[in-house]
Amino acid sequence: MNKVLKLNGKSYEFKTDEFKSRNFNKGTNFGFISQELNEILPEAVNIDSNGYQCINYDEIIPLLVEAIKEQNAKIIALTNKINSQDVTDNLEELNIGATLARNYPNPFKENTSIGFFLPTNIKNAVFYVYDLQGKQIKSINVTERELGTIVIKGSELQPGIYYYSLIADGNIVGTEKMILTDT
């Protein structure tokens, strides 16, 4: 691969008037400059009896094929690494702690969803719902880790304003307000 990275593709025109006996292609050609290639891959450069250098492209092809294989193996490895990591892996790598989202929709009448993230190292997590006076109305043991959702059914509560909290290993992750309507 290192040799391939040193190669410089060029466009050039042969001096066809000067070398009529060589039957060079007229117009623009693409390839390598033999003097440059001789320093990188001398086995691909031949020197004739007159001292002129010419490139044996057949010697370069296997090198290019192997470089492509090497690069493809790296691409596959990187693709597999990317595909094997999901959102929760990335969140834990970023050291994002436990989080509690706001409920949606808010206000709600029938159901509302509350998202959260709990790192896998959390041992105990509980979700609480309180009324405006601070009285605990509901508690849910949260066994999910990483990304999760709690659904609150409007039929389980009376219309009004409530607060909900997520407690993880004895620490308050967050507290938010939700409103349940009757219309």
Q: Are residues 104 and 70 in the same domain?
A: no
Q: Are residues 127 and 174 in the same domain?
A: yes
Verdict on whether the full-model pTM lies above 0.95:
no
What's the pLDDT score for residue 38? 85
What's the pLDDT score for residue 36? 86
Range of the domain at 78: 2-84
Instruction: Report the pLDDT averaged over residues 138-151.
Output: 90
d(CA 127, CA 173): 10
Instruction: Report the pLDDT averaged over residues 92-107.
Output: 77
Indicate whether 95 pLDDT > 60.
Answer: no
What's the pLDDT score for residue 84? 61
Cis peptide bond prior to 107, omega within 30° of 0: yes
Instruction: Report the pLDDT averaged over residues 122-128.
Output: 94
pLDDT class of 112 with cuts at 50, 70, 90 = very high
Q: Are residues 65 and 17 in the same domain?
A: yes
Indicate whether 102 pLDDT > 60.
Answer: yes
For the domain that residue 168 is a member of, what is the CATH number? Answer: 2.60.40.1930
pLDDT class of 138 with cuts at 50, 70, 90 = very high
- 62 domain-assigned: yes
What's the pLDDT score for residue 161? 93
Q: Are residues 161 and 107 in the same domain?
A: yes
Domain end residue (candidates: 84, 118, 139): 84
Q: Are residues 80 and 140 in the same domain?
A: no
Q: Are residues 16 and 69 in the same domain?
A: yes
Domain end residue (candidates: 57, 84, 111): 84
Indicate whether 71 pLDDT > 80.
Answer: yes
Indicate whether 92 pLDDT > 70.
Answer: no
Count the domains in the chain.
2
Q: Are residues 56 and 113 in the same domain?
A: no
